[in-house]
Chain A
Amino acid sequence: MKKLVDARGLSCPLPVLKTKEAIEKGGEEIEVLVDNNTALENVTRLAQSRGFKVTTNKNTDGEWQILIKRGE
Chain B
Amino acid sequence: MDRRDWFVVGTGLLIGVLAAVLVKLGNPGNMGFCIACFIRDIAGSLGLHRAAIVQYIRPEIPGLVLGAFIAALVGREFRSKGGSGSIIRFFLGIFMMIGALVFLGCPLRMLLRLGGGDLNALLGLAGFIVGIIAGVELLKRGYNLGRAQTGSIVGALVMPFIAVVLVLLAIYKPVFNAEAGGPIFVSAEGPGSLYAPLAISLAVGLIVGFLAQRARLCLSGGIRDFALTKDTYLLKGYGAIFIGVLITNLILGYFNLGFADQPVAHTDGIWNFLGMTLVGLAAILAGGCPLRQLVMSGQGDTDAGMTVLGMLVGAALAHNFMLASSPAGPTLYGKIVVILGLIICAGIGWYCREA
Contact = CB atoms under 8 A, between A and B. Distances in A.
B84 A9 contact: yes
Most buried by B among A11, A42, A45: A11
Interface stretch (B73-81, B178-186, B189-197): B73-81
A20 B228 contact: yes
Interface string B82-111: 001000000000000000000000000000
Nearest to A37: B77
Interface string A21-37: 00000000000000111
Contacts of B230: 49
Nearest to B140: A17
Interface string A2-13: 000000111111
A9 B148 contact: yes
B319 interface: no
Contacts of B140: 17
A62 B80 CA distance: 11
Contacts, number: 59
B233 A17 contact: no
A26 to B, nearest CB: 17
Interface in B120-160: 139-140, 144-149
Contact of A49 (B75, B147, B231, B288): B231
A36 B77 contact: yes
By size class, the interface of chain B is 20 to 34
Interface in B217-244: 218, 221, 224-225, 228-231, 233
Nearest to A41: B216
Contacts of A46: 229, 231
By size class, the interface of chain A is 20 to 34
Contacts of A56: none
A55 interface: no
A45 B146 CA distance: 24
A38 interface: yes
B221 A37 contact: no
Given A8-B147, A9-B147, A9-B149, A16 B228 contact: yes
Contact of B225 (A9, A13, A35, A62): A13
Contacts of B327: none
A21 to B, nearest CB: 9
A36 B221 contact: no
5 contacts: A12-B221, A14-B139, A16-B229, A17-B140, A36-B81
What 6 pairs across the A-B complex have the smallest Cβ distances?
Answer: A9-B147, A11-B287, A9-B148, A12-B287, A38-B216, A62-B79
